[in-house]
Amino acid sequence: MKRIAWFVAVVGLLAGCSGITAAQCAGNVNPGGFDLLQTPSGSTDNLSSIGLGTVTFQGVALPSIAQAGTADTVVCRITPLTYPIPGGGETLNIQIVALLLQSTGTVICNNSLCGSYSGQAVTVYATINQTNGVIPLNQLPQPDYLTPSTGSMTVFSNSTFNTNGTTVQADLIVVPPGGAVTSTPIFTTPMPRDSISASGSSWTTTAPSGYPTPPSFPPGGFYVNSFAGSSAVRALIAIRAVKGFLYGFGVLLVGIAVLKIRTSVSSGRLNLRPAYLLVLATIACFLAWRSGSFAFPMVAHAKAICASPGPVTVWVKEGGTYVKHTIQTAGCTPQNVNPN
């Protein structure tokens, strides 16, 4: 995401026959299920337009009332998956219903809304809470109205699925340094929307050992097993190559201009060609600099096992800029496992 923001939904309450309250999404009292996600540390977002510079985020476990383990994000599959799955796959509507990220490191507030904290360090949270009371707003605030973060996923019978351009928007909550997400905010504002797509992710019908099973967010027999990289990686490589070429070309033009200036001085003749070359070098360096404006938010799709495999890097195009999403499986409470 040139920005990071990860997710929204309209979620309600459902009293089941067991008496347990479960979430609904998009007004659907019988959604297909929920996926639990975890965001690893090191996710960054370019929030310069909000006067916060580039902010590094890490996931924070949702309030304990959610019973979601280490998950900081919940995504609802609005459409139930039907079996058998058609040969061409089945497309499900999805919506992101909960998110809690916190900034790490030093963030300086340079915004007209910073007030007495202008030029000072602050703590930044990115949140979504449209669980309609399943997670109370006094535990996971969402002060501003957010456009629902919706999209779709196509599930195939070979245990793979594609995520099809899911839009994401979160709320930005800026508090005094070290403050909790429930602290009185310095200011709040919705973050710009992003879009995420990926192909070739895998899923399973059985839960890995230790996978959280919160009653309010039932999985519905579908578990994200891994999240695949996307073809945007090739586009990013191309952008890096262009960036390197432009910087190299700019340096070459500067070198030629310097040589021509020396020749002009030695001959005592005025030559405007070095000035033209310097202008071209400036343009090339500017274009290279603009092509390097990347943010690096990371979203982890949960597979709640205690031994997490290495992360998968996904580059997605967001608002004309390619953004890095690093996907890794979620953690869980370690359990004793019989090696046999």
The tens digit of pLDDT for each residue in 192-214 reads 777 777 788 888 898 877 778 88
Contact criterion met (CB below 8 Å) for 319 and 192: yes
23 and 61 housed in the same domain: yes
DSSP-assigned states of every residue in 236-285? HHHHHHHHHHHHHHHHHHHHHHHHHHHHHHHHT----HHHHHHHHHHHHH
> Rounded to whole angstroms, how far apart are CA atoms 323 and 315?
5
24 and 125 housed in the same domain: yes
- pLDDT above 70: residue 72: yes
Decide: helix, strand or coil at residue 169.
coil
Compare 71 and 326 and report the one with higher pLDDT: 71
Place of tokens 């002060």: 143
Question: Amino acid identity of 194?
Answer: D
Range scoring the smallest mean pLDDT among 20-24, 130-134, 249-253: 20-24
129 and 273 housed in the same domain: no
Please list the residues that pair with 43 across neighbouring strands: 57
100 and 229 housed in the same domain: yes
Assess if residue 340 is contained within a domain. no
Neighbours of 83 (CB within 10 A): 8
255 and 181 housed in the same domain: no
55 and 204 housed in the same domain: yes
Q: Does an H or E element contain 289, and which?
A: helix 273-291
What are the helix and strand counts (H, E) for the chain?
A: 2, 17
Assess if residue 4 is contained within a domain. no
pLDDT for 23 equals 65
- pLDDT above 60: residue 252: yes
Whole-number percent of the chain with pLDDT over 90: 26
Whole-number percent of the chain with pLDDT over 70: 70
Question: Amino acid identity of 253?
Answer: L
Q: Does an H or E element contain 314, and which?
A: strand 312-318
Number of domains in the chain: 2
pLDDT for 287 equals 67
> Rounded to whole angstroms, how far apart are CA atoms 234 and 18?
50
98 and 127 housed in the same domain: yes
Range scoring the smallest mean pLDDT among 52-61, 143-152, 223-232, 235-244: 235-244
Measured at the CA of 122, the angle between CA 121 and CA 124, to 5 degrees, comes to 145
Contact criterion met (CB below 8 Å) for 117 and 29: no
Contact criterion met (CB below 8 Å) for 143 and 130: no
177 and 191 housed in the same domain: yes
The pLDDT tens digits of the residues spanning 314-331 come to 444 444 444 444 444 444
115 and 189 housed in the same domain: yes
Contact criterion met (CB below 8 Å) for 48 and 60: no
267 and 241 housed in the same domain: yes
Per-residue pLDDT band at 228 (split at 50, 70, 90)? low
The pLDDT tens digits of the residues spanning 289-313 come to 554 333 333 333 343 333 344 454 5
- pLDDT above 60: residue 334: no
44 and 155 housed in the same domain: yes
- pLDDT above 70: residue 89: yes
Compare 149 and 285 and report the one with higher pLDDT: 149
Q: Which domain holds residue 281?
A: 234-291
pLDDT for 177 equals 95
DSSP state, 338?
-
The dihedral over CA atoms of 276, 277, 281, 284, expressed in degrees to the nearest 10, equals 70
Average pLDDT in the 278-292 region?
A: 68
Assess if residue 339 is contained within a domain. no
144 and 240 housed in the same domain: no
> Rounded to whole angstroms, how far apart are CA atoms 255 and 265?
15
Assess if residue 338 is contained within a domain. no
